[in-house]
Amino acid sequence: MSSRIDHFIAGKQFSEADSRTGPVFNPSTGREISRCAYASRSTVDHAVQVATEAGRRWARGSHASRQAVIFKLRDLMLHNFDLLAEVIGREHGKTIEDAKGELGRAIEGIEFACGAPHVSKGEYANNVGGDIEVFSMRRPIGVVGCITPFNFPIMVPAVMMTMAVAVGNSVVWKPSEKVPSAAIEFARLWKEAGLPDGVFNVVQGDKEVVDAILEHPGIAGISFVGSTPVGEYIYQKGTSHNKRVAAFTGGKNHMIVMPDADLDAAASAFVSAGFGSSSQRCMAVSLLLPVGHETADRLLELVIPKIKALKVGAYDDPSADFGAVVSCESKATVERAIGRCIEEGGQMVVDGRNVSVPGHPDGYYLGPTLFDRVTTNMQMYKEEVFGPVRGILRPATLNEAIDITNEHEYGNGSVIFTRDGKTAHRFMMEVESGMIGVNVPVPLPTASFNFGGLRRSRFGDGHLYGPDAARFYTKLKTISQRWPEPDTAALPISLAFNPAG
């Protein structure tokens, strides 16, 4: 009988009698390993009430007391590194090595949140007129609703929620129902780090829980990472309920390769950035754009053997380069995208269908697949494929390559490989993507810089981490004050609009 994964509210496991549940699978085996409880609206109400009460006390605490908890959380993440990697791999399907890379970036985000007092400071001006001083302060917004995806079960929650907690908010978190165990482990570490009960809460579930969070009057802000259709829904519905919303959504990231580039380095970068984690990353390189047919032909000769050398395997196979996709439905969706590209005239140069992993006949495996001569009217160009299928377009010039990149509805990340500084500078100035890379495979910034795409890769003005994350999770108050001497005569009445007095 499958074990049950419940909610975490007020510092302890919370079970709801007769609640709905859904299956949780190990993608490497295709077998059900547990059942995830799906919260009702009453459970969400309970979690928000608990978070509201605990959050008021937490917000009154000193910066030092809050930072002590964040520092302790970092130490506990390191101490539980192997355990967390195992939990991630078992429910997500990514390799242990990849899971450890995710945890490294999570810890980086936690370390940045340790500096929350610096990035949440206000401003001050002395004697703006009439002995009046003006200053601003940032205060926590209250209860934050966080909705996170399956593909980064710890990293996205860590960088998203640690800053929210560090600046004085409380959290109600709805993780992906595909990877619920990581959420419980992360909540356990918060409690062990000394976070007061009720500041950090987990409600498992599906769309019903999402809607309850979006509509709840006790939640002040929403942070979301996931697909564009869902992110747009969350942004529109959340803002209609007077919440601030930051939704980080899909990507179809382009890599332009110029004729002067180090082609072997570009080929390795494309394979690394394109197929890691079975391509289930919003920052994965989806489309390769070598400029000029000669460049394309030469690059293809380098890319194909590198792709064919990749090994697909179980999450705990140390020799595997990447693992299974997250679900049977995901595998079917990716296979449909492959079939559609064939129908539309794409030239398949590497076929990853029908891959076999010894000992795991029921796992959700797909090998790396590559199409050449993709065009902008094909689905393979237009839609994000969350699986190991990549495409090559053949622009004749840099102008055409930039146009192809900018005409796409997504603007998450774009990279260029070139040895020419002027070309790189033009790329940085003209390409409309939120994150730009020059001779780097994935333009994912470090936690001290803002993360977020442009166009339909982001809804709202917030950023996932960096200084803007602290601003998103705080509200600004501006104070004007004067302290007259005790024996000063009362001010005369004046109806003129003169704030300086």
| Positions marked catalytic | 282
Backbone angles phi, psi at 465, to 5 degrees: -145, -175
Q: Which residues are CB-neighbours of 498 under 8 A, at least 6 positions away?
A: none
Nearest CA-CA partner of 221 in 149, 155, 172: 172
CA 387 to chain centre: 17
Dig out the tokens for 283 from the structure. Answer: 């920052």
Cβ-in-10-Å burial (0-12, 13-18, 19+) of 117 comes to: middle
SS3 270: helix
> What is the rounded end-to-end Cα distance, in angstroms, of the chain?
75
Q: Please state, in angstroms and rounded to a whole number, the distance separating the CA atoms of residues 362 and 124.
A: 63
Residues paired with 3 in a beta bridge: 34
Angle between helices 63-79 and 180-192 (to 10 degrees): 130
Q: Do 394 and 385 contact (CB within 8 A), yes or no?
A: no
Q: Return contacts of 119-128, CB within 8 angstroms, 24+ apart.
A: 119/467, 119/470, 119/471, 120/167, 120/470, 120/471, 120/474, 122/476, 128/480, 128/500
Q: Do 101 and 277 contact (CB within 8 A), yes or no?
A: no
Q: Do 374 and 343 contact (CB within 8 A), yes or no?
A: no
Q: Which residues are CB-neighbours of 413 under 8 A, at least 6 positions away?
A: 251, 253, 283, 433, 434, 435, 436, 437, 442, 443, 444, 453
Q: Which residues are CB-neighbours of 236 under 8 A, at least 6 positions away?
A: none
Nearest CA-CA partner of 44 in 156, 181, 205: 205
**102 to 88, 116, 325, 395, 462: CA distances (angstroms):** 9, 22, 16, 34, 22
Q: Do 208 and 174 contact (CB within 8 A), yes or no?
A: no
Tokens 């030469």 locate to 298
Dig out the tokens for 27 from the structure. Answer: 């993608």
